[in-house]
Amino acid sequence: MKDIKIEVKDLSLYYGEKKALNDISMLIPSNKVTALIGPSGCGKSTFLRSINRMNDLIPSVKITGQMLVEGVDIYDKNVDVVNIRKKIGMVFQKSNPFPKSIYENIAYGPKINGMKNKTDLDEIVETSLRQAAIWEEVKDRLFDSAMGLSGGQQQRLCIARTLAVSPDIVLMDEPASALDPISTSKIEELVHELKEQYTIIIVTHNMQQAARTSDFTAFFYLGELIEIDKTKTIFTKPSKKQTEDYITGRFG
């Protein structure tokens, strides 16, 4: 089953007593872009954060069901969550570069994993920055502070930083929502290029962005997965009326 990267089986998530995700089951294909759409509060971000177990940071969270990444349930007791996050990277809504130099930001991940050799690090930094389409803009100021970059550049830096640890899967939580249109389209193009090497799952509240960039789209509503299908199908002839109503703007 090489085409499927993640299999979600009856996944439910509780914040204390409140059920935020209700029996989600879906298949996420490899090397494709899957978009998660839905109105605010529908659970798409919560679901995304379940994939790399970032929800573990919230003490009252409880998860039932299975999240199988390449056949392994990442919520299994024997699994080391730190290793999961090396394989499943995340780019956040608001870019969060470390207050260090650009070089140090990218090298952070590899260094954590034990890489010490300067040449190796240099190479990874350059490769990652190239992959994130920002190398040309920063190659002459690698040791300047990352905080001096513009919003769009910072976000691409964060993407490069995530790529530097060579994950298989890249999760993006509304990566362009805080950016201007030109930066947004740069990020969208980047997503398009990256899918050849990575499996990408992107949460977006901007339907048109989902339509432009993704191969598959999943529609969430009130903590449930309503429909998941090829993006073209979802946006031309969705099977569920709820999906159609949302996409045509009739509600939410």
Partner 1 sequence: MDTIEKTEENIFFSSNNKKSDLKGTLIVGSTLASVILIIAVLFLIIGIIVYNGWQTFSWEFVSAFPTDGMTKGGIFPAIIGTFILVIVMSIAAVPFGTITAIYLTEYAKENSIFATAVRFSVRTLAVVPSIIFGLFGLGFFIQFIGSGMDTAFNAGELHWGQPNILWASLTMALLTLPVVIVSVEEALKTVPRELREASLALGATKWQTIKKVVLPGSVSGIMTGTILAVSRGAGEVAPILFTGAAYYLATLPKSVSDQFMNLGYHIYIMSTQSSDVEKTMPIQFATTLVLLILTISLNVIAVIIRSRIRSKKL
Partner 2 sequence: MASHLEIELEKLKNVIVKINNLAENQVFEAVGILLSEPLSDKKQVKKTENKIDKLEVKIEDICQSIFALQQPVASDLRFIMSAMQISNEIERIGDLAMSMIKLNKNINSKYELVTKFNIEEIGREVEKIVIKTNVCFQNLDAEAIGEIYILNNSIKQKATAAVQNIIDDIKTNSKSIVSGMNLIMVLRNIERMGEHCTNIAESVYFMINAKVIKHEKHTDKNAEEE
Interface contacts to partner 1, rule CB under 8 A: 52, 54, 57, 59, 82-87, 89-90, 92, 94, 96-100, 108-109, 112-113, 145, 147, 158, 161-162, 165
Here the tokens at position 228 are 């998941």
Total site size for partner 2, rule CB under 8 A: 13
Q: Which is nearer to partner 1, 86 or 212 (CB)?
A: 86
Other Cβ atoms within 10 Å of 22 Cβ, number: 14
Here the tokens at position 237 are 């002839």
Judged by beta carbon distances under 5 to 8 A according to partner kind, the member of partner 2, partner 1, none in contact with residue 235 is partner 2
Q: How far is the CB of 229 from partner 1 (least distance, A)?
A: 29
Judged by beta carbon distances under 5 to 8 A according to partner kind, the member of partner 2, partner 1, none in contact with residue 145 is partner 1
Q: Which is nearer to partner 2, 45 or 209 (CB)?
A: 209
Q: Does 248 bind partner 2 (CB under 8 A)?
A: no
Q: Does 213 bind partner 2 (CB under 8 A)?
A: yes
Q: Which is nearer to partner 1, 96 or 239 (CB)?
A: 96
Judged by beta carbon distances under 5 to 8 A according to partner kind, the member of partner 1, partner 2, none in contact with residue 158 is partner 1
Q: Are the CB atoms for 199 and 32 separated by under 8 Å?
A: yes
Site map 164..193 versus partner 2, x via CB under 8 A: ---------------------x--xx--xx
Q: Are the CB atoms for 22 and 224 separated by under 8 Å?
A: yes
Distance CA 252, CA 240 (A): 15
232: nearest Cα among 246, 249, 201, 211: 211
Q: Are the CB atoms for 89 and 66 separated by under 8 Å?
A: no
Judged by beta carbon distances under 5 to 8 A according to partner kind, the member of partner 2, partner 1, none in contact with residue 182 is none
Contacting residue, 113, 236, 239, 248, with partner 2 by CB under 8 A: 236
Q: Which is nearer to partner 2, 221 or 235 (CB)?
A: 235
Here the tokens at position 62 are 């409880």
Beta pairing partners, 96? none
**Within 13 Å, how many C-alpha atoms sit on residue 129's CB side?**
24
Q: How far is the CB of 6 from partner 1 (least distance, A)?
A: 17
* 128-136 long-range contacts, CB within 8 A, separation 24+: 128/160, 128/161, 128/163, 128/164, 129/102, 129/157, 129/160, 131/160, 131/163, 131/193, 131/194, 131/197, 132/156, 132/157, 132/159, 132/160, 132/163, 132/190, 133/186, 133/189, 133/190, 133/193, 134/160
Q: Does 235 bind partner 2 (CB under 8 A)?
A: yes
Q: How far is the CB of 58 from partner 1 (least distance, A)?
A: 10
Judged by beta carbon distances under 5 to 8 A according to partner kind, the member of partner 2, partner 1, none in contact with residue 231 is partner 2
